Amino acid sequence: MNIRTPAPVDPRKLEEIHALLASCSNLDDAISRMRSLGLNKIESIKLIRAHLGTSLGEAKEIVHLSPAWADRFDSDNALHDAFEQAAETELASQD
């Protein structure tokens, strides 16, 4: 499996995103703008979590269910389900 470490977010983009989050009353617009700036879901989740002070699960749900990431919803859920099934299979084989 080839796992890539994401590059750090450009500090200029971070400044823009923090200003956007501070001034934006609509989170969906902010998440959409983050994606257009090239941030991935994980980066967006981290920023939403830090900005709102939510739990990881809440921030993940906000980003995952946002219209900005709707095109990835089904494939991300399928991947999650496949990992869950693989983990269950592995646990069952250890018994």
Structure tokens at 7: 């590059």
Per-residue pLDDT tens, the chain, 95 aa: give them. Answer: 455 555 666 777 777 777 878 887 788 988 998 899 888 999 999 989 988 899 999 999 999 999 999 998 888 889 989 999 999 998 888 87
Provide the 8-state DSSP code for 69.
G
The C-alpha atoms of residue 25 and residue 70 are separated, in whole angstroms, by: 20
**Does residue 64 lie in a domain region?**
yes
Structure tokens at 79: 């991947």
Structure tokens at 57: 């699960």
Structure tokens at 65: 């269910």
**Does residue 24 lie in a domain region?**
yes
What is the domain range of residue 55? 11-70
Cβ atoms of residues 28 and 34 within 8 Å: no
- Looking at the structure of the chain, the number of domains it has is 1
Confidence (pTM): 0.71
**Does residue 51 lie in a domain region?**
yes
**Does residue 75 lie in a domain region?**
no
Q: 């823009």: which residue's tokens?
A: 16
